[in-house]
A and B are shown apart, each in its own frame.
Chain A
């Protein structure tokens, strides 16, 4: 009991230290001048020319990164199948 609690406290403190260290070295809020945004700038400038869509986010979701959406659809299908499988005996 006591050992498990102390192990949990040590784990929590270590993760908290890592999160705070990461927070200290992050870029200022709203200023993206020191990170590489070339892909996003290409998408922002060429969305209307290449895909014909006005909404940049939809163009990224369904055109530039369609494989991500395919994986998401697979995860949703698996989750629905799992829920129906868990409650299979009750739904007769």
Chain B
């Protein structure tokens, strides 16, 4: 009905996050990009399970209706909690790296070809 707008939003979210991961040099900006990619994937799973004119898979009594698909929603629920756990682990390593190298720039940390 609405001309694929949620799928286009998914593609743009993943591309913006990928831009931040590939081209930014600050480590926290890279982590923000990873968070954006993960949000895009979650939105993609939920959008795949949506049916036109459906209601949520939660029953009150026994009425019959079209329901949206429950399995992608359950997997997305698992994915969100894993996402925040992995984000906390990444940020802990970033704080450790900052205390060791005293910088957040990726190319200075790996001893890059700048100077």
Contacts and interface: CB of A to CB of B under 8 A. Distances in A.
Within the complex, are A and B direct neighbours (CB within 8 Å)? yes
Interface in A1-49: 1, 4, 8, 11-12, 15-16, 19-20, 23, 26, 28-32, 37, 39-40, 43-44, 47-48
B7 A26 contact: yes
Contacts of B59: 47-48, 54-56
Contacts, number: 117
Question: What's the dominant secondary structure at chain A's contact region?
Answer: helix
Nearest to A73: B81
Given A37-B69, A57-B57, A86-B93, A80 B77 contact: no
B40 to A, nearest CB: 10
B4 A28 contact: yes
Given A8-B22, A12-B18, A87-B92, A76 B67 contact: no
